[in-house]
Chain A
């Protein structure tokens, strides 16, 4: 049982490049989330998917898109990366109707030059 996995672990992009961060969970959870973590700002919600087939904006969605590919996978796409998107990105999942606890992946450290 791997829990929540994220790829890649590290990535360096140039301004304007695009990339997709991948997230998968093997806990049969319904809900999945993408957060970014910046020094002094805490964890902030970018997008979430309450269940397969639905996605909603969080606190800081500008510059990002998401796809809930199936129940296991939830990807985050940066279409045109900007230096302000330099951050550590975390994916999380939750069993809806359970204890409400979100379980986090190991993170992707992204640098945009």
Chain B
């Protein structure tokens, strides 16, 4: 069974204080790893897809990296508008269309 675990569950940062979120996974044949951002009361918003170990993607203050067992979402010099819940999901080769999500990390950036 595919499993995704995100840590920490919650993270409080001061504006400008860089940090990393972890997503560890156990799947049979990773087809893709996805990062989403979710604001309160809204649907998940797509950020990145990573397909193979060693791959990195960046968008503004966010950078996602992938190894064979985990992914990191690095937030560099965060701003209050980066406050959100960040979700990680995996698509396994055998699962076809389906994504398995982790529980998310709630990030609060204080000015």
Could you tell me which A residues sit within 8 Å of B by CB distance? 4, 31, 33, 40-45, 48, 50, 58, 90, 94, 96, 99-107
CB atoms of A43 and B97 under 8 A apart: no
CA distance A105 to B46 in the complex (A): 11
For the residues of A in contact with B, the DSSP-based class is strand
**Please, which residues of chain B bring their CB within 8 A of the CB of A33?**
97
- A-B residue pairs in contact (CB < 8 Å), sample of 30: A31-B97, A33-B97, A41-B103, A42-B103, A42-B104, A43-B44, A43-B87, A43-B99, A45-B98, A45-B99, A48-B98, A50-B96, A50-B97, A58-B98, A90-B43, A90-B44, A94-B97, A100-B49, A100-B91, A101-B34, A101-B46, A101-B49, A102-B34, A102-B46, A102-B99, A104-B36, A104-B43, A104-B44, A105-B43, A106-B43
* Known interface pairs A42-B103, A42-B104; A106-B91 also in contact (CB < 8 Å): no
A3–B31 CA distance with the chains assembled, in angstroms = 25
What bracket does the count of chain B residues touching chain A fall in? 20 to 34
Given contacts A31-B97, A45-B99, A94-B97, 5 further A-B contacts (CB under 8 A): A42-B103, A43-B89, A102-B34, A107-B41, A107-B43
Which residues of B sit under 8 angstroms from A45, Cβ to Cβ? 98-99
Interface 1/0s, chain B 28-59, versus A by CB < 8 A?
A: 00011010100001111110010000000000
Contact digits for B16-33, partner A, Cβ 8 Å, 1 yes 0 no: 000000000000000110
Q: Give the 6 A-B CB pairs with smallest separation, nearest first.
A: A104-B43, A43-B101, A42-B101, A42-B103, A104-B44, A106-B43
Bound-state CA distance A101–B34 (Å) is 8
- In the complex, A105→B103 CA distance in Å? 19
Contacts of A106 in B (CB 8 A): 42-43
